[in-house]
Amino acid sequence: MNLVLGIETSCDETAAAIVEGGRRIRSNVIASQVATHALYGGVVPEIASREHLDRIGDVVDSALQDASVGLEDVDGIAVTYGPGLVGALLVGLSYAKSLAYACGIPMVGVNHIEGHVYSVVFENDPIEYPALALVVSGGHTSLFLVPGPEEYLLLGRTRDDAAGEAYDKVAKLLGLGYPGGPAIDRLAPTGDPDCAPLVFKVPQMRDGTLDFSFSGLKTAVLRFVKENGVNPVAPACEPAQVVRDICASFQQQAVRVLHARLRSAVRIHAPRTILLAGGVACNSALRAAVDGLGDSTKTRVCKPSPLLTTDNAAMIAAAGYPKLLRGQFSGLGLNADPSLRLGVTSG
């Protein structure tokens, strides 16, 4: 088992990649639907599924071509089967099954969240265990203890909005477009996060868990905007200073929530490595906060480059590689699981 074709269609990126030996990216093709969904301020599931149908064949062909290989050279196929949008998942999964059946190539289903964990393997030294993995994206905010390879103990998850979802909703409210995370991250350094009375409070968990909550933070922004008559940014116009201050305060508090839970987990579990992954892992403030935590606790931090933080198929191929290597194949009866979970719950 050497070359793995990865296929990822869990949300709004149609992606395929060829990965060699579980760690070397030979190709990594991503067809983004951002421009399409920006018209609606967020992902429209039916439109996402249709775009995947239109693009999946060309994307897989491009991945093979970029890697200078043919299907006859592929040793295994790794495909996302959950969690995600069910229609979108079915497109990639059905295509992977067709290739596996027609070409006699073994296939394995991969958990999308585990794929994000594996996104760190390409640009970092091998992970030292135990590790803590913070996966932060538009659909998921989860904190895992990783005692060893492919072992996951869920320490905390969001109880409402995921962090990336909160970013997108606040950005939409402010007229900053979709996706909202990059826009807020770009404006936050130009604002004052402590501009009274514009200071949004960090939600407090009173039951001692490591769970997250971002709904209250989002609602605080909404209330401030309505009570103070803050207008959304008009197209092609520069954001007002109050909008910049809102971005700065919101980002400061969102990152504080993530940092606080991770810091508590580091204190409890004393990991040898901290893994930061998911779409929000490209946020400059979060990356700096996690690096600072690593420095202060003398814990190695592994994170992917920005391109590999978003949904991609290279991470799916990497996560599928050890499973394929030991013969853990999935049958053609594998179905999409939009609510698929990773690991077991602590406690």
Our count of domains for the chain comes to: 2
Do 199 and 332 have their domain in common?
A: no
Phi, psi of 20, rounded to the nearest 5 degrees: -105, 125
* Total residue count of the chain as it appears in this document: 347
Domain-embedded: residue 27: yes
pLDDT at 42: 82
pTM: 0.94
Domain-embedded: residue 243: yes
Do 148 and 278 have their domain in common?
A: yes
Nearest to 334 by CA among 111, 113, 109: 109
Do 82 and 229 have their domain in common?
A: no
CATH label of the domain that carries residue 101 = 3.30.420.40
Q: CA 322 → CA 28, 80, 231, 243, distances in Å? A: 19, 15, 51, 47
Do 75 and 150 have their domain in common?
A: no
Q: Which residues of 46-74 are buried (b: 16+ CB within 10 A; e: fewer)?
A: ebbbbbbbebbeebbeebbebbebeeeeb
Do 21 and 57 have their domain in common?
A: yes
Do 285 and 327 have their domain in common?
A: no
Do 97 and 246 have their domain in common?
A: no
Strand 76-82 relative to strand 24-32, pairing: unpaired
pLDDT at 241: 95
User: pLDDT tens string for the chain (347 positions)?
Assistant: 699 999 999 999 999 999 999 999 999 999 988 888 887 778 888 999 999 999 999 999 999 999 999 999 999 999 999 999 999 999 999 999 999 999 999 999 999 999 999 999 999 999 999 999 999 987 889 999 999 999 999 999 998 888 999 999 999 999 998 889 999 999 999 999 998 667 787 666 667 789 998 988 999 999 999 999 999 998 888 999 999 999 999 999 999 999 999 999 999 999 999 999 999 999 999 999 999 999 999 999 999 999 999 999 999 999 999 999 999 999 999 999 999 999 877 65
Task: Please report, as a single letter, which amino acid is at residue 312.
Answer: N
- For tokens 């979060």, name the residue: 286
Nearest to 142 by CA among 276, 305, 300: 276
pLDDT at 202: 67
Do 66 and 154 have their domain in common?
A: no
Do 221 and 281 have their domain in common?
A: yes
pLDDT at 347: 58
Do 156 and 38 have their domain in common?
A: no
Q: Which domain holds residue 218?
A: 131-303
